[in-house]
Structure 1
Amino acid sequence: MQAALNTVMGRPNFTQSDVIESNLQGRTAVVTGGTAGIGYEVARALALAHARVLLIAQTGEHGEDAVAKIKADQSTSGPMVDVTFVQCDLGNAHDVQRVADRIREQEGRLDLLICDAGVGVNKFDVSADGLDRHFSVNHLGHFLLTNRLLPLMRSTAALPGARPPRIVVVSSSLHTTAPSSVRFESEDELMPEADQLGAMQLYARSKLANLLFVRYGLTQGVLRAPPVSENSNSAVNGNGSGAHTHNGSGILALATHPGAVHTGQQDQFKEAYGMVFGTLLKYTTIPFMRAPDAGSLSTLWAATADDVERDEAKWAGAYVTDPGQAGGESSMAKDEQLGKNLWKLSEKLVRERLGQDGLLPWDEIKHRD
């Protein structure tokens, strides 16, 4: 009966243990938004599969609580889980730079970067960087975090026997509701003076940015390695002993849609739409939503499934909607010019706040002692 209901409601009939490898020991993951909802479920599943997990979130109390809950779930007979909380405001470029640089210097490897943290459907607000908070947290903070962690991921890809590291960015099917006026051409679109979008449109715009970042910025951009000579002995480019992908970078990037999931984000409906309608909207939508553990499945699959490596040409840059399923992007998410606009604007916004050195060279690799 439950399986039939799940099918009707669009809920998966499988569990985390069906999609995640049983043992990720020796691999390191960074998970943003890992204190609640989907991010917590992803962090928990990776930690219980014996990966080292760095859990990034803004609120210290929530972070320590999440770590304690994950440790309480570990098996008494297996190895101790290795999970650490790292406090960071993704809407503050200086904070992101500080945290990313510390991780890059202190960690010996980085196999998985899961970009899940985000502002939900809510009214316009301003981030610490003076921009639309949806855009700052959901996209720009992850853009900068990725940039400053890529050297560590590139060096991980070059390790003997390494599997291709993966970047997984959690988007949403609501990206299809982004207004056609979105161009990502100017900072003016993201300033308080341009506050003309509703709560849903603000969220949708940021989720569209997630998809454009993965497809055009990463997969068809900085992760596409330049041609190498036949005499090259670079491990990353396939003639050495490290991981390599069809595009030569040694790193794969994917976007995911978790489904409609009941998380704490529904509490923001009251702020976005007022107490009465917001409360009504919250409680009328919850019965049709997935639980957070079910919402984590597409992301866990994108992060760990062997199928992704077996058919990299298919999955690199893909939009994963359920384990083993992809597609459904809007035409705007496939607009190369929008992708170029977003990349140019994102670099400009970061450098305006951190200076010209705020972004590392996208092809930089961390050199090992």
Structure 2
Amino acid sequence: MQTVKHTIAENLGVAPTLSGDPHQLVDPQHQFSLDQVGDLSGKVALVTGGSEGIGFGCTHTLLKSNIDKVFVVSLSEEIISQAKNAFAEDDELPKDAAARIVWKQCDLTDWKRVQQVAREINQETDRLDILIANAAKGIMTHSLDRNGIDSHMSINHLGHVVLIDALLPLLNKTVKDQQTKVRVVSFSSNLAAQTPNDVDFATEEDFKSDLGAQALYARSKLADLLFSRYLNRKYSQAGHSDIVFNACHPGVVDTRQTNVWIHEPFPILGYAWNLLNPIKKSIFQGCVSAMYCATQPTKGGNFICPPAVPEDGPEKSRDEEMQDRLVRFSKQIIELAGVTLTTIPV
């Protein structure tokens, strides 16, 4: 019964309880709400894809918690403008909320641009307390990016590898100068468990091949979880435990992905996702696990499911040899594209 309760809490936006809040179904020690984020005055964050969907929920929560500045890395000027207007008109937020947003236009498949954005951020702030790697390509059909890599792997994993590598010095500086912990949050998914068994990141083919829409997404989300656990392990072994790396699962959230883009791979079956709209999580419910990871844990290496439930994740995600292979081939692919990684330990 506890497993059923946790499944509802992790994935759905309503529950058969008096409160209707699925997060109340988990044990008290694993409950968490956005009201518990705390005051973030003086701090700086970065959210990829922070202008819509779950990323909008993260950015809104950071602003509501009085963060000084949020770098939003995304593609669409129209969508960031809409988000800023919404922030400016929201009475729950500081009056200057929209002015606290610094937008960086970036395509995460353009790894040279990703590095350039990171350089700009390094020049524009002397601290970075929170990095939320949220932007992603969802369940869609196979396509190759400009470097001949599966676009799911390029956007969801490799683009964030480049970004995190370029910002780790700033994260380290923040730890040293501010005498504080900083937190890096990677969005994974419980769908990572559906990665085909023969995917082991032992060759570059696992960064390119077509597995079908859902399995492509699953593979990239397994990579995100493997990478987060790799970084936590390497930094902990080096005695740098003040950078806290965790991954999270958001649940089934009411976003453009689950309402519109799902029809690209599944023109008919996609309507089944639309039928779930009344019980999907809102974007604010969907960002709870990420905001927990972004503000609360003192230890890393975890896979956090809503609201704040640590789970093992797929067995593969705990395979240290697979973590090592993933990072080794990720580095090789990125550097073949003319982008040099300088910080991530290998």
TM-score scaled by length of structure 2: 0.87
Q: Deviations over 1:283-336 (max 9, x none)?
A: 22323321111011011111112xx23xx3xxx111111233101411111112
1:49 Cα deviation after fit: 1.2
Instruction: Determine if contact 2:130/2:183 at 8 Å carries over to the other structure.
Output: yes
Indicate how the Cα distance of structure 1 residues 70 and 25 shifts in structure 2: closer, same or farther if over 3 A, else same. same
Q: Distance in 2 between matches of 1:148 and 1:7?
A: 47
Aligned residues: 323
Indicate how the Cα distance of structure 1 residues 287 and 4 shifts in structure 2: closer, same or farther if over 3 A, else same. closer
Indicate how the Cα distance of structure 1 residues 106 and 66 shifts in structure 2: closer, same or farther if over 3 A, else same. same
Indicate how the Cα distance of structure 1 residues 298 and 352 shifts in structure 2: closer, same or farther if over 3 A, else same. same
Q: Deviations over 1:58-113 (max 9, x none)?
A: 1121122212212221558x562211221111111111111111111221110000
| Matching residue of 1:220 | 233
Instruction: Determine if contact 1:168/1:254 at 8 Å carries over to the other structure.
Output: yes
| Matching residue of 1:238 | none
Q: Distance in 2 between matches of 1:8 and 1:176?
A: 31
Q: Give RMSD over aligned pairs.
A: 2.2
Q: Distance in 2 between matches of 1:290 and 1:96?
A: 30
1:225 Cα deviation after fit: 5.1
| Matching residue of 2:256 | 264
| Matching residue of 2:305 | 321
| Matching residue of 1:11 | 22
Q: Distance in 2 between matches of 1:3 and 1:202?
A: 29
Instruction: Determine if contact 1:64/1:85 at 8 Å carries over to the other structure.
Output: no
1:190 Cα deviation after fit: 2.8
Aligned residue type for 2:64? L
Indicate how the Cα distance of structure 1 residues 347 and 4 shifts in structure 2: closer, same or farther if over 3 A, else same. closer
Unaligned runs of 5+ in 1: 227-246, 364-369
Instruction: Determine if contact 1:176/1:208 at 8 Å carries over to the other structure.
Output: yes
Q: Distance in 2 between matches of 1:362 and 1:293?
A: 32
| Matching residue of 2:5 | none
Q: Distance in 2 between matches of 1:144 and 1:259?
A: 26
Indicate how the Cα distance of structure 1 residues 6 and 213 shifts in structure 2: closer, same or farther if over 3 A, else same. farther
| Matching residue of 1:255 | 247
| Matching residue of 1:147 | 165
Q: 1:49 aligns with which of 21, 43, 65?
A: 65
Q: Distance in 2 between matches of 1:182 and 1:281?
A: 28
| Matching residue of 1:156 | 174
The structure with the larger Rg is: 1
Instruction: Determine if contact 1:63/1:87 at 8 Å carries over to the other structure.
Output: no
| Matching residue of 1:211 | 225
1:1-369 correspondence to structure 2 within 5 Å = 5=16, 11-13=22-24, 16-21=33-38, 23-51=39-67, 52-75=69-92, 78=94, 80-81=96-97, 82-160=100-178, 162-191=179-208, 194-195=209-210, 197-216=211-230, 218-221=231-234, 223-224=235-236, 226=238, 247-266=239-258, 267-274=260-267, 276-278=268-270, 280-305=271-296, 308-309=297-298, 312=299, 316-355=300-339, 358-362=340-344
1:224 Cα deviation after fit: 2.6
| Matching residue of 1:230 | none
TM-score scaled by length of structure 1: 0.82
